[in-house]
Amino acid sequence: MNPTDTTLTELRDAIASKSISAAEATQTYLNRIEAHDGGLHSYHEVYTERAMKQATAVDDGEVTGPLAGVPIAIKDLLCTDYGHTTCSSKMLANFQAPYTATAVQRLEDAGAVILGKTNMDEFAMGSSTENSANVTTRNPWDTDRVPGGSSGGSAAAIAADLCAASIGSDTGGSIRQPAALCGVVGMKPTYGRISRYGLIAFASSLDQIGPFTHTVADTALLLKVMMGHDPLDSTSASVPVPGDIDQVDEAPKNLRIGIAKEYMSDSNDPAVAAATQQAIDVYKDHGAQIVEVDLPHTEYGIPVYYIVATAEASSNLARFDGVHYGHRTDKAEDLIDLYCRSRAEGFGDEVKRRIMLGTYALSSGYYDAYYDRALKVRRLIANDFDTAFKDCDAILCPTTTAPAFKIGEKSDDPLSMYLNDVYTVNCNLAGNAGISLPGGTTVVDGKELPIGVQLLGPSFDESRLLKIARVYESATNYYTKRPQL
Ligand code: GLN
């Protein structure tokens, strides 16, 4: 068996039945990273020795669990008490966290082997990974194109089989958008489902951790391990994790799939529109009822998100002052100068732009006109979803308007970059769950590029959403497609 050519669940079972050792599986992934990541830059840091030790502990029977021996990559904003946690920022280039994020700890307690940290847009701000202070990650399907962002490294790593699964974070689409552009499954669970303890905050009321995998079943397995209340995160929900979350093959009965005209814009790329239509047909064939739903406040999502997210970011990033945390200038003349220079040197352009936008929206005289009003509209967006979910079990829509764009194509135009998230941000604003699934490929400039299909579901019912997703996955074979490296 080739351990890099299977699903996470299959690999887990093969290790459990000793048809392959965890050490052999881990070594195969490490070799593959060595061979291919030079051209992709999905990893920032690889923990070769530690990973081999973890794998050996599994083989020696010292570690057991539902993920025993399975090699996983994590986004570089999840704290670990080993290695560096940098958020792909100069500000944290040398930061070594004193503790490990709950989500990562739960993976390790379940026996997962952590291969390394993946590249990202600085502080998770971006949709292309071009905002990384280190390097731009390349899309494995076409290395002239972006993998999406901000969790672009995690998406590229699993798409190229440089890990058996990876973990990212989604504040406005940062798991689902890169999953769509890289042709893998990416899920944002309900806000509060997975502890944010040890996730370096971008926008605390929106941030949510989630997995990237090749299959819905693999996503379910990772969610089962990571979800659940954590006393270390006061926003983590005390809602029990359903025992049947990994029973994804139980096809849901009396299924109602919602279609919202607000997501079916004429400006969608024709291949995206065709993939969405095909998904509708798959559900029709399955016997689902297709219902029209209205999400009338959809168009306010982007402006509301870029007020709420930047406001929270401006506050969260205040801690990086060169004293408490992060890069410290060596040129300061006094304390104020130390703060100013440390921040000016440590943060990249997009992060500075967000801090300025957010500070402005929160400042006296503007707070009511921007921040307060944005919160009111956020409530209306959430109400739209609550109303829609009375009439349907999930809303089917595209994840992005188009397949992956070229590196450099949008980097000088922040607004067109922000518009990447039109179909993803509202789910973060409302807090409900969303998943992007491989929806086939289209050929652009002679290269095959993946397209994503998205399902949005009500809060705290990931279990049903995954079963609904599995209906589509099992009717298509798109998830088996791999890029040629
Ligand atoms: N692309 C969005 C942004 O730049 C979303 C980022 C994210 O989800 N972390 O803010």
What secondary structure does DSSP assign to 352-389, as a single string? Answer: HHHHHHHHHHHSTTTTIIIIIHHHHHHHHHHHHHHHHH
pLDDT at site 477: 87
Catalytic: 314?
no
pLDDT for the residue 144: 98
Q: Is 125 in the pocket of ligand 1 (CB under 6 A)?
A: yes
Residue range of the domain that includes 235? 3-253
Choose the residue to mutate in 78, 174, 207 for probing ligand 1, maximizing ligand atoms within 8 Å of C-beta. Answer: 174
Q: Is the Cβ–Cβ distance between 418 and 177 less than 8 Å?
A: no
Give tens-digit pLDDT for 176-187: 999 999 999 999
- In a domain, residue 63? The reply is yes
CB 223 within 8 A of CB 245: yes
Q: What is the pLDDT of residue 22?
A: 98
- Active-site pick, 42, 132, 150, 169: 150
CA–CA separation, 40 and 473 (whole Å): 27
CATH number at residue 194: 3.90.1300.10
Enumerate residues 6+ apart whose C-beta is below 8 A from 121.
88, 127, 128, 129, 130, 131, 132, 149, 150, 152, 174, 350
Residues of the chain with pLDDT under 50: none
Note whether residue 16 is domain-resident.
yes
pLDDT digits (tens, 9 = 90+) for 386-417: 999 999 999 999 999 999 999 999 998 988 89
Using alpha carbons, list the distances in angstroms from residue 57 to 113, 195, 272. Answer: 10, 26, 45
What percent of the chain is helix, strand and coil (3-state, nearest 5)? 40, 15, 40
Q: Kindly state whether residue 191 falls inside one of the protein's structural domains.
A: yes
Q: Is 311 among the domain residues?
A: no
Atom of ligand 1 nearest to the CA of 171: 8
CA atoms within 13 A on the CB side of 50: 15
- Kindly state if the Cβ of 127 falls inside 6 Å of ligand 1: yes
Q: What is the pLDDT of residue 34?
A: 98
Best probe residue, ligand 1, of 127, 302, 306 (max atoms within 8 Å of C-beta) = 127
Q: Which residue blocks in 41-81 are alpha helix, DSSP H? A: 48-59
Does 114 fall in a domain?
A: yes
In a domain, 479, yes or no: no
Active-site residue, 463 included:
no
- 152 located within any domain: yes
The pairing of strands 289-293 and 209-213 is unpaired
Distance between CA atoms of residues 114 and 126, nearest Å? 25
Q: Which residue among the candidates 89, 174, 236, 411 is catalytic per the annotation?
A: 174
Catalytic residue list contains 169: no
Domain count, the chain: 1
Q: How far apart are CA 179 and CA 184, in angstroms?
A: 5
Query: Which pLDDT value is given to residue 340?
Result: 97
* Ligand 1 proximity of 350 Cβ (cutoff 6 Å): no
Q: Is 126 in the pocket of ligand 1 (CB under 6 A)?
A: yes
Q: Is residue 177 part of a domain?
A: yes
Ligand 1 binding pocket includes 154 (Cβ within 6 Å): no
pLDDT, position 1: 82
